[in-house]
Amino acid sequence: MDAPTRSSVFQDFLQPGQSFVVTDTETTGTRPNLDRIMEIGAVRTGSDAPCAVFSELINPGVAIPSRITRITGITTGQLHDKPSSGDVLPRYMEFLGDGLLTAHNLAFDRNFLSAELIRCGLEPLQGQGLCTLRLARRLLPGLRSKSLGSLATFFRMESSGRHRAQRDAEITTAILERLLQIAIDEHGIGDLDELVALQSRTYASVRPLSAHVERIRRETLPDLPDEPGVYRMKDGRGKVLYIGKARSLSSRVRSYFNAVEAHPARIRKLIAAVRRVDWDVLPTELDALIVESRCIKQEDPPYNRAQTRWTQRPWLRIHPDEPFSRVTAQVLVRCDGARYFGPLKSRKQAASLLEIIERVFRVRNCSAKDLEAGRRCLRGDMGRCLMPCEQPDAEDYSVEVSRVEAFLKGDVEDVVAQLEADMARAVAALDFETAARIRDWLHMIDSLLAGGGAVAAPMEGVDRAAWLAGPDDAHATAALVRHGLLVWTARLPLPVGAGNLEHIHARWEEVMEYPVPTAHPTAREEADARRVLESWMYAHRAHVLVVDRRPGEGSASWAQRLMDRIMSEG
């Protein structure tokens, strides 16, 4: 392995002549007086010299136990022709020199090294050392495990190759760098003596809690309800720093102020700036998701990364009152009497769907001017258009448009069959580029159906009821979609009983009176709420029950069908 590069943190912290010698040993057991060292690995890093690496296998003079081989991969045969500790340890001591012996669980490695030195007739190790395990216990007390692997995971380091001495020494060096940065930034450690002393200080003296964290724990956390909602973290001037949603406000907000030092650096920085936490209790987690998304976009908190922008997603548009309707894609949804299907993920996805429609269905894509002028196009010559420019049969064309709408709503069987046949013909003709494009279309159709049950759902949508209750939930979330818009949510107690049915029936009687919108939901907030609703239903698809209202069906029958589904499916 190549020697690790020298860190600027070490360079800036250490004085000339000072260095860390991070060491790891692999041993035949855990008892220094009986077991032996079979491998030593060390990394030296200092302020005025490049990093250096020491790595040696040692013949311990005894067989390697099978349990040690399982951990390290080192076998007795691999060590048969290796030098003895009497040959290796003097070279290691020369490598250590006047550097500071550093290890993760220093006592273990130091005791083994001293025992081997005594067997070789040399003096045991003297002087101070630095233990990264002890440092981690004081700098990261909220982290449940301070093992080398757990620290590597916490700091998001690559930890492959563990349980070999040199690799463990390299990982320990990287962890030491992170711990040193925390000690400098958060505790004002300025030199090597202070760092060594830090590992022996009491926990309370290392990290007394900030006054504002103590105050929030004392005054705010006890008042947080065990209810869904949205919370806002604010600084001392009332500026919103972060907005989040929670299924349980109490559990979620408490998690920020417990074991603060175990959080990632960005969260620790947020907690250091927070002076107040406000919250709004909402009926369900679904409501919290929608309100959170809207508030993040409106208030733009600096610590929120996701959902910070209104997303203008494309729609497919079909205008039934136009002569011989076209299918087009556009971002803005207007109150123009047209039917809109979507929203789609991207303009690329919209373009792909238009290609599929123009390949499979015989609808025009020419401009109104060309249609009026009666100009025949290439699609007509290819048989891919009913050619209303020359044969204006409105009834046949209307049937074709209805087929397009059925495809967008999820009736894809005929379309998939034709695309699969086209792909097979393209492969036979060695037109692999066309075959690959059709293959991607088929994958896209499958993913769209899996996500929402339709290729592109009509904006006005169906009247739909959803019921979500996980296996361990004490409450269920009921939601009602009317004309494609989320109009009602409720948090209802479990188990299911007659009260649930009466409550839902009464509410649905009210919302069934909602008129069909005279205009499509053009507001960004409404479009965003629909996006959140679809994401919520997909994320909980394993536990959510959805029942669409049949044409002409009353709310009582609709509610009863949902209850029957709930009772039958548990």
Measure the CA–CA gap between 102 and 128, rounded to whole angstroms. Answer: 9
**DSSP-H helix ranges across 277-393:** 285-299, 347-360, 368-373, 378-381
* Active-site residue, selected from the candidate residues 80, 163, 263, 503: 163
DSSP 306: S
Q: Pairing relation of β-strands 485-493 and 475-482?
A: antiparallel
Measure the CA–CA gap between 175 and 132, rounded to whole angstroms. Answer: 8
163 in active site:
yes
Measure the CA–CA gap between 174 and 260, rounded to whole angstroms. Answer: 22
Phi, psi angles (nearest 5°) of residue 189: -65, 125
Q: How far is CA 120 from CA 25, 117, 294, 504, in A?
A: 17, 5, 72, 83
Tell me if residue 289 falls in helix, strand or coil.
helix
Tokens of 44: 């030296």
Task: Say what angle helices 413-428 and 347-360 make with each other, to 10 degrees.
Answer: 80
Please choose, from the candidates 161, 157, 45, 42, the residue with its C-alpha nearest in 3D space to the C-alpha of residue 104: 42
Neighbours of 253 (CB within 10 A): 20
Measure the CA–CA gap between 501 and 465, rounded to whole angstroms. Answer: 13
> What is the separation of C-alpha 443 from the centre of its chain, rounded to a whole number of angstroms?
23
| CA dihedral of residues 275, 280, 286, 292 (deg, nearest 10) | -50
**For the chain, how many residues are written?**
570
Say if residues 404 and 411 touch (Cβ distance below 8 Å). no
Say if residues 365 and 326 touch (Cβ distance below 8 Å). yes
Tokens of 541: 């698809």
The residue assigned the tokens 């803005």 is 332
Which string of DSSP letters, residue by residue, matches 108-160? HHHHHHHHHHHHTT-PPP-S-EEEHHHHHHHH-TTSS--SHHHHHHHTT---T
Active site residues: 163
